[in-house]
Amino acid sequence: MNGLRRLLIAQIRAQGPMPLAEYMATCLMHPEHGYYATRDPFGAAGDFTTAPEISQMFGELVGLSLAQCWLDQGAPAPFILAEAGPGRGTMMADILRATKAVPGFHGAMQLHLIEASQTLRHIQQKTLGREDIIWHEGFDDLPNLPLYLVANEFFDALPIRQMVRDGGLWRERCVGVKDGDLSFGLTGPMAMAGLMQRLEDTQDGDIVEVCPQALALAERVGDRIEAKGGAALMIDYGDWQSLGDTFQALENHAVADPLAHPGQADLTAHVDFAALALATPSAYSRLTPQGVFLERLGIAQRAQALAAGLSGAALENHIAAHRRLTHGAEMGTLFKVMAFYPKGAAPPPGLEP
């Protein structure tokens, strides 16, 4: 039997059913058996492919949007350039290359990466090949400076709670043990002060997902940006308000049973951008489809310029990558972009207030 499954069953037998959030956190980040802790899951050979791994254009345009935002705010120096959950470090490499020509940007920048996985930290170090990277477990120890932060497919990896409405109360979805195997169950009904407003737009039996860690991060990051300046660009799949079960396991590019192979499948949930917007004390942009965001930033022109140097299969791949990032039937609409920025300032280019 899978080592993590055995550990989980033993723990549940000893302590009782565990909330979904604890199951998700353990599966993703257990130091020995966790999904991110033990592997590089990206790319064709892995379980999923992210936008920065599809084309260099993604990170380049994100980088230029952030750098223009930095210029618009008067080029504060020093400042923090941070990425949450950098994966292989591909997007940051593209951001750094694209912003080299922005006068003063690299000179004023301190590079901070928020990454829990040691395996991925090593890969990020190799990709970026720099001596000046400062890694963090979370946001708390980032220096108190203007903060320009990017996060692509980071919030979807943070553990969620699932609450099922029962009258005016809520039952929480848990992972327990049944017939010797992991199985979903529900707690008894509880009052949830934080879900009062969701009683208005839900019915009995509806599932509402809450991501306490995402809310805490949004609050802290937004507070820093409001106080010191900066911006946070968050790109993820999700929507304005979460309703229903979006908890999903992905293994070898296919949807899998989230309880079947703990630690061996990627577990995610859609991001509830409305909840992030509610949590930040800063201004936030309109939620914008990824395709629209990239088109506003000039992906068509950049794609043409790159195409000029390509032919044959490389050119075909490049054209397919452009389509994949922007087209409504691919990532263009499913993925959304939202930014935090100081009240009274302009949002990063590509986004509207």
Contact residues toward ligand SAH (CB under 6 A) are 28, 36, 42, 50, 52-53, 85-87, 91, 114-117, 120, 152-154, 157-158
What minimum distance in Å lies between the beta carbon of 24 and ligand SAH?
10
CA distances from 10 to 1, 7, 176, 320 (A): 13, 5, 11, 47
What minimum distance in Å lies between the beta carbon of 86 and ligand SAH?
6
What minimum distance in Å lies between the beta carbon of 153 and ligand SAH?
4
Residues 316 and 323: their CA atoms lie apart, in Å, by 11
Scored b (16 or more CB within 10 A) or e, 117-139 reads beebbebbeebbeeeebeeeeeb
Nearer Cβ to ligand SAH (92/164)? 92
Nearer Cβ to ligand SAH (9/249)? 249
Nearer Cβ to ligand SAH (53/209)? 53
Name the 3-class secondary structure at 303: helix
What minimum distance in Å lies between the beta carbon of 111 and ligand SAH?
15
How far from chain centre, in Å, is Cα 319? 26
Tell me which residue has tokens 């990558």.
Answer: 321
Nearer Cβ to ligand SAH (127/187)? 127
- Are the CB atoms for 170 and 192 separated by under 8 Å? yes
What minimum distance in Å lies between the beta carbon of 142 and ligand SAH?
13
**DSSP secondary structure, 224-268, as one string:** HHHHH-EEEEEEEEEESS--S---EEEETTEEE-TTTSTTTSEEE
Nearer Cβ to ligand SAH (91/145)? 91
Nearer Cβ to ligand SAH (285/290)? 290
Nearer Cβ to ligand SAH (50/56)? 50
What minimum distance in Å lies between the beta carbon of 347 and ligand SAH?
21
Q: How many Cα atoms sit within 13 Å of 218 on the Cβ side? A: 26
What minimum distance in Å lies between the beta carbon of 352 and ligand SAH?
24
Q: Would you give the DSSP letter of residue 167?
A: T
Name the 3-class secondary structure at 192: coil
Residue nearest to ligand SAH (CB): 85
